[in-house]
């Protein structure tokens, strides 16, 4: 017994604003039915004591301590700039030129 009908697929296609043919409705109904059956099988196997996972192996973020280190002075950083203004890099305007 199919879990999803051809009419339901057509309704989903309309909601998603997808243009599908009659042949595609039949194909998609079959494919979505297989997907729903597979999800149902997984739901049957899932146990209450098995925690949900997002990865097969545990992942850990590795962070380093933030340390203050010497860096360029503002004047040194701007020294090689083609244009600078008010202590900042001056770049050509790219937004709003067409208006």
User: Which structural domain, as residue segments, surrounds residue 17?
Assistant: 1-43
Q: Is residue 28 part of a domain?
A: yes
Q: Is position 22 within any domain? A: yes
The CATH number assigned to the domain holding 4 equals: 1.10.20.60
Q: Is residue 10 part of a domain?
A: yes
Supply the pTM of this predicted model: 0.45
Residues 6+ apart with CB under 8 A from 6: 25, 26, 29
**Residue-by-residue pLDDT tens, the chain, 99 positions:** 457 888 999 999 999 999 999 999 999 999 999 998 888 888 777 677 777 777 878 888 888 898 999 998 999 999 989 999 999 999 988 887 665
């Amino acid at each position: 017994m199919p879990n999803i009908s051809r009419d339901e697929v057509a309704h989903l296609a309309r909601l998603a604003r997808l243009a599908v043919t009659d042949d595609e409705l039949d194909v998609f109904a079959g494919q979505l039915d297989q997907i729903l059956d597979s999800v149902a099988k997984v739901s049957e196997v899932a146990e209450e004591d098995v925690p949900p996972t997002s990865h097969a192996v545990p992942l850990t973020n590795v962070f380093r301590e933030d340390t203050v280190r010497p860096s360029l002075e503002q004047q040194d950083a701007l020294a090689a700039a083609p244009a600078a203004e008010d202590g900042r890099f001056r770049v050509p305007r790219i937004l709003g030129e067409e208006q």
